[in-house]
Amino acid sequence: MQHYDYIIVGSGIAGLYAALMARKHGTVLVLTKGSIDESNTKYAQGGIAAAVGPDDSTQQHFIDTAAAGAGLVDENAAHILTGEAPDRIADLVGFGVPFDSTDGAVQLAREGAHSVPRVLHAGGDSTGAHIELSLSALVQHSEITVLEHCLATGIVVEDGKVVGIEALDYQHGLPMQFNCRFLVLASGGAGQLYRATTNPDVATGDGIALAYAAGAEIMDMEFYQFHPTALRLPGVQPFLISEAVRGEGGVLRNGDGRRFMEDYHPQKELAPRDVVARAITAEMAAAGSDHVYLDVTHLPANLTASRFPQIYSFCGEHGLDITKEWIPVSPAAHYLMGGVRTNVWGETNVQGFYACGEVACTGVHGANRLASNSLLETVVFAKRVVERTLNGSSPTFQSREAVRLGDAYRGEVPPLTLGGLQTLMWDKVGIVRNGRDLADAIHVLSAWQAVLPEPHDRPSHELANLLICARLVAGAALIRQESRGAHHRTDFPQASDAWQRRIVFRRDANEYA
């Protein structure tokens, strides 16, 4: 059996950056279930936030981050995120990421809920792709071992410590196992939980499900961020229309052509994402429509085409000239604020087991992530993970208030399919929720769990992982009897001080959700 000092699961920016840091301190294996560059990072358009401008400060970045998080941001984590951001940007520049600049000065854009322009971008709206390609090239030309098309299927824990990982080479049907000193989970989010998502097919919550099964704590799962503006065209998969489009002056209009965001928030189109997503949902419901419009026709055509080449090109390929026509948009599942609970060093409650990126939850985003803090989070905490492994420390936290999922029970429900799961989550555990719908969803999800066959290939493993994540999201959403950030309940429409706390799941907890 092969042994590595570090096994890293996932090849987005979090996994690749961690691998590049770890290679200096031992042998490294990167496992990824797709190709090395297939991840959410690749599709991140807006950019990466950092206080590097002359009119900005890390303290102001912290203030904006905390404000967007609706009272649940872990302030220590947020100070670390914003304070270390400039140095991590310097690292990325050193790794060859070509951030856009003018006359030698980096270009900074403004996005929703940021008080000043502080978002760096590369290739206009292709920031994630540029970072992913720069880092993957370095990894592939190093001594790091990369196994593509290899799906992690189990975390091996002995005497409370991670010792390895089980995996499946699904192209050849071969089970594998590798031993390690440190396991770093960087497997991304779970956008495929929902019928409409900006995430690629690989975002199936694998890491969260594996971590839960291994005894790691899972936190803040009720907070799923729906991006307000995904392209809505018949027969076309949702395509992200970046926050930066509104940052450049894009205006949201309803079917009557009226600019409506001024009715909902003083920051209008630059309000926090949860506010904009709910406003769009309300406008669609009032009009009986499946979309509103994002209007950039008043901006110079050459600015739109050059600043957003990916969006301009994609829309053009589908017969839409965004310099002359309004863009039909609607919300789509985008980012999971919750995940595997870690401290600010990426440690979980299981010794030797670390997590970083979207799969992890430090509490830094609170109830609603500030735009373009996601790419930043990956590099800040990936570096801290590797630093922590050098100190020989072990985690000491474990929540005394953790709950666990109730036992699955049989019931009369439709057969489980991916489409059925996604529709159930969209309809009953989506942008706007209520107790009755959540209870109904939990009943169906539990009944599906009771009859789920043993997974044997990639699709069946992914469906099983999504089912666990769905139960965690719905369970947390039912427990939290208030509205806060991305979690909105019509039966509890206000935020409550009593709920200014976290919901934590652990498989071996004594309580039931």
Active site (catalytic) residues? 273
Nearest-angstrom CA–CA distance, 342 and 354: 7
Residue 102 is encoded by which pair of tokens? 């003018």
List C-alpha distances in Å: 216 to 352, 445, 475, 501: 11, 21, 17, 19
Q: Three-class SS string for 287-355?
A: HCCCCEEEECCCCCHHHHHHHCHHHHHHHHHCCCCCCCCCEEEEEEEEEECCEEECCCCCECCCECEEE
C-beta separation of 333 from 197 below 8 A = yes
Cβ atoms of 161 and 155 within 8 Å: the answer is no
Q: What is the DSSP string of 21-64?
A: HHTTSS-EEEE-SS-TT-SSGGG--S-EE---STT--HHHHHHH
Dist. CA 427–CA 438, nearest whole Å: 10
Q: Give the pairing type, strands 251-253 and 292-295.
A: antiparallel
- Residue 351, both tokens: 């010794």
